[in-house]
Structure 1
């Protein structure tokens, strides 16, 4: 067996799917802006994050549509998320992105909705067989010509008859780099210049620790303990180009809407090199009940007016452009529900309520304990505890 499968390292590369797993193929494309946003999220978000893919009925295999309507979809199904596009020679291809678990799947009218908790990055392990060739043996009516809208609709959402071979999985930055490199090959072969790519760079949020990943996968929600520090490592990679990056391509911006959390670092990651990583830090304040809010990740791209003009007349776009000479476009945004608290607010409320109850307790001069002596302290404890748990937080 290949050495990459026998490594005992926690971040090892492993076979993507087992033979016993039931797999749902979820293909997206670069046709619409919404699909592009989905791809950015699938590639960039940490393990455990929930993404929602939507498909109109003509693009769903009838067998799977019937399963959705009957409500018989099991959460044990695994998802294989892929994207179709054009290579440099103009031929259609499909590349794998990530695997995941089906959280829920249903039909709403003529729309199939699939919620997926994303897992490792996946890529082909064989140099002889492409992913498209391997997929063709286990799937039917695949999208094979993105320039021919007149043909019968392909099945972008369908169950696979068996496990596609020669697929590897990796949960680390190395897996992300492999998937990003493949994506840049098809984004976008129709454009004559690299500067006109749909997605000039990609980001990756490093996997959270074990407990946080499990909570994120279960509910799609970030949990941060009260009074703790939380770091987010964001990697960025730019589309390969022969020219030096003179002006920033864009930036990743973190927005925070929460009464009990704040930044302790810059909330922006500027993309001004081919490869970079930055840590963004958050801290939470003391509170007496769990508090909810959200954390948003925005991917903004910059369009430099003077640089574009230079590219048209053939001169190198090496001049530094001021911020006033560029426009900003938000290409993708993802909102994490964010809960701050955990067990600590309950402990804090209990300790303060206990101190308040103890302060009104009167010890008997005879050294005997009487039930009625504990009545008032008990009432004080209950009122104080529930009063604090209603949510006194720092404003």
Structure 2
């Protein structure tokens, strides 16, 4: 019922359109600029998705004590672009319920999981319900929380919709992986949208066999596992179109340095590439020790240092000499890494570069690093020979657990 004061109920399914998708579309990019210029929305933060101002507009339309509910992407609960909106919802409104639909396919053509916040236009008061959808398709309450207990930490304001204890500040005294390694997505293997739109697709560049044109080994996230590369294909390289005409070519030196390579969805799976110099697409993240990029200067690296690093590059190059890639491999594949990742991303299925970059990393004596690295090397060998290595994983888990006590 509309009134002079607003609506009793606002309900909706807003558009989910990421910042990169908006920016590459002339119409959506113009709309994005108009939304910012209107100064109507204080929830906009960095690479905000289009559903963010939709949610804030819905809240603005409420009458006092009116009720708001929208089905939105689950990343609202943990992504950096949603930080201002999460803070606003928890501190300026009454959160009644959050329906956690993570892992349930709600929309047939969508890959993202969802959640539904139920919000009252009144002062924060009391606890909120956390509900989940069960196999019988009925949504039931699983726990209740105060708005204060919902956030994991003040820095990122990530929401924790579980009973697990999570905090991004748990190891605040430690350095993070980004202090030791440059973290990057791989290349986007299709034609540049602006200059070469539609000229070629990813499939046009990949071959199952090595030849003079498809001359570099190439992998994607589905090709790797913990301590293992399961499948290798070959990418066209040093031709007129690849890499220079790719949508995101990254920079060549990224693939010619020793590096850790890992997936971007689900449980973190990490392996190492010291000799093969695999090329990889954006479904894989890589971590290269800063010291191994010492002589590489470009906008990608300088921008990353400026945006994400608390230390100068020279300092990080020096710090990276204190850690070994095989030691980091053991850390990131340990059971402790799952908890460290949950501290960063909450319950999300996606792994983003900022999650990897902010994983806390202890720097023990060289003997301890060597012990973990030696076991990691033996696991790599056993995976190649298809030999059981479960007891070695337990050894690493125990050694790593001690470092984080």
TM over 0.5: no
Q: Name which structure has the greater RCO, CA cutoff 8 Å, separation 6+.
A: 1
> Could you say which structure has the higher strand fraction?
1
TM-score, normalization by structure 1: 0.24
